Structure formats: structure tokens, C-alpha cells
Amino acid sequence: MDLIFKYDIHYTCKKIIQEKLDKLGIDYEYTGVSEVKVFEDLSQDRIEKLKSELDYYGINLVEDKKKLLVQKIKNAIVEMIYLDEGDLVNKTSIHLSEKLNLSYGYLSNVFTEETLSTIENFIILQKIEMAKVLLTKEDLSLTEIAYKLNYSSVAHLSNQFKKKIGLTPSAFQRVLEKRKQLKQKDNN
């Protein structure tokens, strides 16, 4: 018997982090996708305990300043794409600069230095991942998905999708449908 799970990775990680912070009795509040404001000074021992608890789930506490900034950039982009549905910002550079209070040039340089990739590439990857989710879960047309992800056209979405995935969105949908049919056939 096959069990297939559907989950939201952002929600799951948030719940794990909340559970571990609560277990350690840490007073906190979520301030972003994976950002938490702690209302007390934590001893090194409690920080190490928290790191150990989260490490089991592959969740790491970011401590290096540049890595921290890169994570904040990624969080802002993920928030923008996954959480601000229907309100995707046209000018990501302005959005990031305003959200992080730093110039986009500086943010871009740090991001590229730390990840060996560009912010633009990360945005494209996130938008393509969201397109895959929407193609899998939602009953939306490609036009609706392109609009939702702020693409200028279906062709633009299709071109980026094909470059990153190796298939057009339509071909991706056909593969998913074929897999569903094969699974149903196997289960009968």
C-alpha cells in the first residue's frame, strides 16, 4: 500500500520551530517566514540545545552575518511568492531594499557572493516551484498561473519553466496526469 502525503513545507518547519522553542520555554514571536524575535537573552547552553533539537529535522540556526542576510533575502522572496498571493511585487529590487533597509546593489552582491547565484535566478526558481505546486494542486489555467506569478505572458512562464524543468508546463501536466492514471491502474 502506498501512502501519499500532501504538506506545506513552510507551515511544517514553522510548527517544528514553534514546538522546540516552546519545549525550551523560550518567549518568542514569529516576525517572518523563518524569523523569530526572542524576548530574552539566551544562554549559549540554551542556544546549543535549540540548535541540537532543530538539527534533527535539518533546520539550522543561521549565525554568520552574511549568511543571515542571504537567508533574510530568501525569506522575503519566499514570502512574496508563496504568502502574498495575488499581490506579487513588480519591482523585487524595490521591495527587497525597503523590506531589508539596504540598497539592492549591496543585497545583490552579498547574495551572489554567498550563493554563487543571483537573486533573479532564485526568484525564477521559486516562481517555477510555485508554478509546479499550482499545476499540481490547483485547477488553474496557465494564463491564470502566469498572472498569479506576475509573468508578462504565458509564453514567458513557459520559457522559464522549460529552461529550469526541461518540460513545458503543459508537458509537465501531461506527465502528472499519466502518472495518476498509472497509479490508479496499479491500485485496481
Q: What is the pLDDT of residues 145-171, one digit of tens each?
A: 998 888 989 999 999 999 999 999 989
Average pLDDT over residues 60-85: 85
Sign of CA dihedral 62, 68, 72, 77: negative
The set of residues, in sequence order, having a beta carbon less than 8 Å from that of 33 and lying 6+ positions away, is 10, 14, 75, 78, 79, 83
Show Cβ contacts of residue 1 under 8 Å, excluding neighbours closer than 6 positions: none
Report pLDDT digits (tens) over 98-132.
Answer: 989 999 999 999 999 999 999 999 999 999 999 99
Is it the case that residue 134 has pLDDT exceeding 70?
yes
Is pLDDT larger for residue 57 or for residue 5? 57
The structural architecture, per CATH, of the domain 65-187 is Orthogonal Bundle (1.10)
* Residue 80: pLDDT over 70: yes
Q: What mean pLDDT do residues 36-47 have?
A: 90
Q: Average pLDDT of the chain? A: 88
For 166: left if phi > 0, alpha if psi spans -120 to 50, otherwise beta; the answer is left
pLDDT of residue 88: 58
CB contact set of 150 (below 8 Å; sequence gap of 6+): 88, 89, 90, 127
Q: How big is the CA angle at 178 (ends 177 and 181), to the nearest 5 degrees? A: 85
- Burial degree of 168 (CB within 10 A; 0-12, 13-18, 19+): middle
- Residue 70 and residue 119 in contact, taking contact as beta carbons nearer than 8 Å: no
CB 49 within 8 A of CB 63: no
pLDDT at 87: 52
Is the pLDDT at 89 greater than 70? The verdict is no
* Top-ranked range on mean pLDDT: pick from 28-42, 49-63, 84-98: 49-63
> In this structure, what C-alpha cell is assigned to residue 64?
554568520
* Every domain range in the chain assigned CATH 1.10.10.60: 65-187
Q: By three-state DSSP, how is residue 36 classified?
A: strand
- Give the C-alpha separation, 74 to 62, whole Å: 13
Would you state the pLDDT for residue 84? 59
Give the pLDDT of residue 124: 94
**125 contacts 133 by C-beta, under 8 angstroms:** no
Model-level pTM?
Answer: 0.69
Say if CB 176 and CB 136 are below 8 A apart. yes
49-68: average pLDDT: 90
The region of weakest confidence among 28-32, 82-86, 164-168 is 82-86
